[in-house]
Amino acid sequence: MNVDYVSPHELMELKIFEEEGLQKSERQTKIAALYREVASAGAIVDIELDHVPDDIRREFETLVSRPLQSAVKKAAKQIRSSSATLGMEGGGILIGVNNGYSYLNADNFEKLLVRRCRNDSTHIDHAVCISVDYHQGDFHAFVFCTVRCHAVRGGPEWGESKRFQTTVLDAFDDAMTQMMRDQMNPILWDQGLSPIADIRFERGGVVYVREAPYIPDSRF
């Protein structure tokens, strides 16, 4: 129950999200239940988070952020434990990396992770949110890295936020350079980061879909 990193003034815990949260059968069933009064058999329902109806939006966001909640609660316990062990009064920082929960884009990942930190912990002062998105089209492929730091309860900005952002993006650039130099290496590509794909499931004759972003082919 110790944190991953300790600096002179902070206790930092790293959590990496690599599982597609909407592939869980139980979660799919609960999503369908939210739509049962508005979706009839044969319908195709767009479940992109930004398109969810307002009357079920809060419940939907709570449901899809359950994996984040579990990580936040564990991180808070680790920060509290290390603080007591080391006798430190420093701030707690959660470094959250979205490297596979593709249903949540960078903005939604940050919004929900910060909300979970605010609601489920008094030991996390800052949330560092990193999202890596791999988009594969018919011809083009794009990989993006987004790094943003948030004060969980509106306090001062983390003093190392700018340097941390620069360091992460530099490391990302180095990794992309290596991947482009060795494009046929399956360890770097096939086994590293899967491209964002459509999410599709069926319940009660209704099909629920989150389409992957369209990547246009510039050759035409």
- Quote the pLDDT of residue 218: 64
pLDDT of res. 93: 97
Residue 103, pLDDT score: 96
Q: What is residue 70's predicted lDDT score, i.e. its pLDDT?
A: 97
pLDDT number for residue 185: 74
pLDDT at 189: 63
d(CA 36, CA 40): 8
Tell me the CB-side half-sphere exposure of residue 121, using CA atoms within 13 A.
28
pLDDT along the chain (220 residues), means of 10: 92 96 96 90 94 96 97 96 91 95 96 96 95 82 92 92 97 88 71 83 95 76
Q: Round to whole Å and give the CA distance between 171 and 165.
A: 10
Q: What is the pLDDT of residue 192?
A: 65
Give the pLDDT confidence score for residue 169 in this predicted structure: 97
The pLDDT, as a whole number, for residue 141 is 78
What pLDDT score does 198 carry?
Answer: 94
Give the model's pLDDT for residue 191.
65
- Position 160 scores a pLDDT of 94
C-alpha to C-alpha distance for 26 and 65, rounded to whole angstroms? 14
Q: Distance between terminal CA atoms of the chain?
A: 55
Going from N- to C-terminal start, the domains of the chain cover 5-157+194-210
